[in-house]
C-alpha cells in the first residue's frame, strides 16, 4: 500500500504546478493556439499565416505588437446553421432567371432595333414621343426596369452567399483535401474571448490593454473523405474581429 501513496504524493505537486501554469497563461486549447499564431504572425508580418487563420489584421505599425497575453474570459459557443448551400442554390436560381429574362429582352430588342434607337435619341434630347414610338417607349421602359430588378436579385443573393463563405473557406481549407464548401450543410460556431495583453506601441512604449476577440469556425456535415466514408468536418478557428475594451 505504501507504493501507491508515494506515487500519489509525487504526482500531486506536478498537477498543481501544471494547473498554476495554465491559469497564469490564461488557459489552453485551440483558441489560445490560434491567438498565439496570430500575434506572432502579426509581429513578423507573415501574411501567409495570417491568411490561414484570420480575416482581420493586427498591424504592428499602427496598433503595436502583443508581447504577452492572458485569456480573461470566453463566452459560451454560439452555434448557428450554415446556409451556404441554400444561398448557393438561391444564387444559381436567380442567375438562371436573369439569363432567361435577358434572352427574351434581346429578342425584343432585335425585333425593334430602329424604334428603340429613336426612343433613345428622343430621351437624350428630352423629347416627347407619340403614336407607336410612345407605346414602344413604355414597353422598353418596362424591360429596363425589370432588368434592374433581376440584377438586384442576383446581387442580393451573391451578397448573402459571400457573408460567411470566406470565413468558412479559411476554416475548412486543406490543400491536401480540397472541399467545395457550398456543397454542404453545416454549422458555424462563434465565441468572444477577452484578453489582457502587454502591447508594445510603434513608438517603443509598452502598456497593458484589454481586447475582445471574436473567433469563428465551421463544421460541414457529411463530407466524404479519401476513405470513402462520410463524416463531419470540423474546421479551424478563424479570428474575424477584435475591439479594444472601452472603445
The pLDDT tens digits of the residues spanning 25-45 come to 444 489 999 999 999 999 999
Section 215-228 average pLDDT: 91
pLDDT over threshold 50, residue 168: yes
Alpha carbons 17 and 12: distance in angstroms, whole number:
9
Section 113-124 average pLDDT: 96
Alpha carbons 78 and 73: distance in angstroms, whole number:
15
- pTM: predicted TM-score of the whole model, two decimal places: 0.77
Alpha carbons 107 and 55: distance in angstroms, whole number:
45
Alpha carbons 209 and 214: distance in angstroms, whole number:
16
The pLDDT assigned to 198 comes to 97
Confidence at 15, pLDDT banded by 50, 70, 90: very low
Residue 45 · residue 126 · CB < 8 Å: no
Angle at 100 between CA 99 and CA 102, to 5 degrees: 65
The pLDDT assigned to 176 comes to 86
Q: DSSP secondary-structure letter at 60?
A: T
pLDDT over threshold 50, residue 134: yes
Residue 82 · residue 185 · CB < 8 Å: yes
Alpha carbons 13 and 192: distance in angstroms, whole number:
33
The pLDDT assigned to 224 comes to 86
- Tell how far CA 151 is from the center of its chain: 24
Section 81-86 average pLDDT: 96
Angle at 177 between CA 171 and CA 179, to 5 degrees: 60
Section 221-233 average pLDDT: 88
pLDDT over threshold 60, residue 23: no
Instruction: Using a pLDDT cut of 90, give the percent of the chain over it.
Output: 82
Give whichever of 100-104, 161-165, 178-182 has the largest mean pLDDT: 100-104
Amino acid at each position: 500500500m505504501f507504493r501507491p501513496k508515494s506515487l500519489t504524493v509525487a504526482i500531486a505537486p506536478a498537477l498543481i504546478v501544471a494547473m498554476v501554469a495554465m491559469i497564469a497563461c490564461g488557459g489552453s486549447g485551440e483558441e489560445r493556439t490560434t491567438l498565439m499564431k496570430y500575434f506572432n504572425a502579426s509581429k513578423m508580418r507573415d501574411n501567409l499565416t495570417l491568411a490561414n487563420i484570420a480575416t482581420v489584421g493586427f498591424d504592428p505599425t499602427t496598433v503595436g505588437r502583443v508581447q504577452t497575453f492572458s485569456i480573461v474570459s470566453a463566452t459560451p459557443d454560439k452555434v448557428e446553421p450554415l446556409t451556404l448551400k441554400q444561398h448557393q442554390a438561391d444564387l444559381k436560381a436567380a442567375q438562371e432567371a436573369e439569363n432567361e429574362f435577358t434572352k427574351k429582352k434581346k429578342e425584343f430588342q432585335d425585333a425593334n432595333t430602329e424604334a428603340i434607337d429613336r426612343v433613345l435619341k428622343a430621351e437624350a434630347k428630352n423629347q416627347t414621343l407619340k403614336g407607336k414610338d410612345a407605346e414602344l417607349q413604355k414597353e422598353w421602359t418596362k424591360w429596363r426596369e425589370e432588368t434592374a430588378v433581376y440584377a438586384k436579385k442576383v446581387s442580393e443573393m451573391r451578397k448573402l452567399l459571400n457573408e460567411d463563405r470566406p470565413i468558412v473557406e479559411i476554416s475548412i481549407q486543406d490543400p491536401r483535401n480540397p472541399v467545395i464548401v457550398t456543397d454542404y450543410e453545416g454549422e458555424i460556431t462563434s465565441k468572444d474571448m477577452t484578453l489582457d495583453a502587454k502591447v508594445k506601441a510603434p513608438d517603443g512604449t509598452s502598456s497593458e490593454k484589454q481586447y475582445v476577440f471574436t473567433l469563428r469556425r465551421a463544421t460541414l456535415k457529411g463530407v466524404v473523405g479519401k476513405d470513402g466514408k462520410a463524416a463531419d468536418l470540423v474546421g479551424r478557428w478563424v479570428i474575424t474581429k477584435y475591439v479594444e475594451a472601452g472603445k
